[in-house]
Amino acid sequence: MLCYVPLTSKPSTQGGVMVKKLCVLFLAGCLVTVSAPATVPAAQQRAVLKDMLLCLQGDLQAADPAGELDPLTIETMILLDRLHEAVTADDPENLQRFVQDYAAAIAPLQDQQLNLTCLLPLLMSVFSSTTTMLNTVAAGGDQTCQFLRLTNSAADIVSAVQTYKICMIDSSETPDQTTREQIVRRQVVVKTYNFITSALYTGYCKVAPTFFDWFNVLLDFFAIFPKEYPEETP
């Protein structure tokens, strides 16, 4: 599993195009790989999830280095750490308590005085993902499926924080385009994790996936690609 590594210098136009093509090929490869996820052993899926959770911690830290969204970022970091420990130990016993603690800890976020234009989409995504996690641990079932679903929701939360930061940059008087580009690039990776876990969950955990189940996976795939990508200049 590859985490995002920031570029130390701006690539040339030709190099940038090549990177984009390679990214498209990689993502297409992911689509083919997860088209039959039931063949992927549970142990291998958990190994991938361990790496994803570590990478998500780095992505979250990079999105909110100043702690503007505390306690959301702190509590999400704690949740990611606990999920990583649970996946590593192959022990889902405390997952319900971990998620319930997280839901209680982020509740005060609703009262924070933040930019509403950027905050409302963040709140909707965070609390929707938290509800999904609460329902997942309450339902129980196959532990690998729980890990997949929780990691998918965690990726949604990290992506929501990144979207909030992009929104704040765009609405500022002097937008920091360098920081924005770095967050956008990281978000591509986070959304890739979301797509992979969604596809694995659909193929591995659903007894008889419907057309609409796979259609939602396809939507997750297309969501990977940013709507706005900084133009490269020679």
Compute how many other C-beta atoms are within 10 angstroms of the C-beta atom of residue 87: 27
> CA 35 to CA 47: how far, in whole Å?
19
Amino acid 229: pLDDT: 47
Q: First vs last Cα of the chain: how many Å apart?
A: 31
Query: Is 4 within a domain?
Result: no
Token pair listed for 31: 């689509």
Residue 176 sits in which domain range?
13-222
Asked whether residue 136 is assigned to any structural domain, the reply reads yes
Q: Are residues 201 and 149 in contact, defined by beta-carbon separation less than 8 angstroms?
A: yes
Domain tally, the chain: 1
Calculate the alpha carbon distances from 70 to 66, 76, 80, 179 in Å: 9, 9, 15, 20
CA distance linking residue 149 with residue 136, whole number of Å: 7
CATH number at residue 62: 1.20.120
Per-residue pLDDT, 157 = 96
Would you say residue 228 lies in a domain? no
pLDDT at position 12 is 41
Question: Kindly report the CA angle at 112 between 110 and 116, in degrees rounded to 5?
Answer: 80
Give me the pLDDT at residue 47, please.
86
pLDDT at 112: 61
In a domain, 172, yes or no: yes
Reduced 3-state DSSP string for the chain: CCCCCCCCCCCCHHHHHHHHHHHHHHHHHHHHHCCCHHHCCHHHHHHHHHHHHHHHHHHHHHHCCCCCCCCHHHHHHHHHHHHHHHHHHCCCCCHHHHHHHHHHHHHHHHHCCCCHHHHHHHHHHHHHHHHHHHHHHHHCCCHHHHHHHHHHHHHHHHHHHHHHHHHHHHCCCCCCHHHHHHHHHHHHHHHHHHHHHHHHHHHHHCCCCCHHHHHHHHHHHHCCCCCCCCCCCC
pLDDT at position 228: 57
Query: What's the predicted TM-score (pTM) here?
Result: 0.81
Q: Which residues of the chain have pLDDT under 50?
A: 5-15, 17-19, 21-22, 25, 29, 32, 229-234
Q: Say if 125 falls within a structural domain.
A: yes
Q: Please indicate, yes or no, if residue 231 is contained in any of the structural domains.
A: no
Q: What is the pLDDT of residue 22?
A: 45
199, part of any domain: yes
**Residue 90 is encoded by which pair of tokens?**
């192959």
Rounded to whole angstroms, how far apart are CA atoms 159 and 49?
17
Please check whether residue 164 lies inside any domain of the structure.
yes
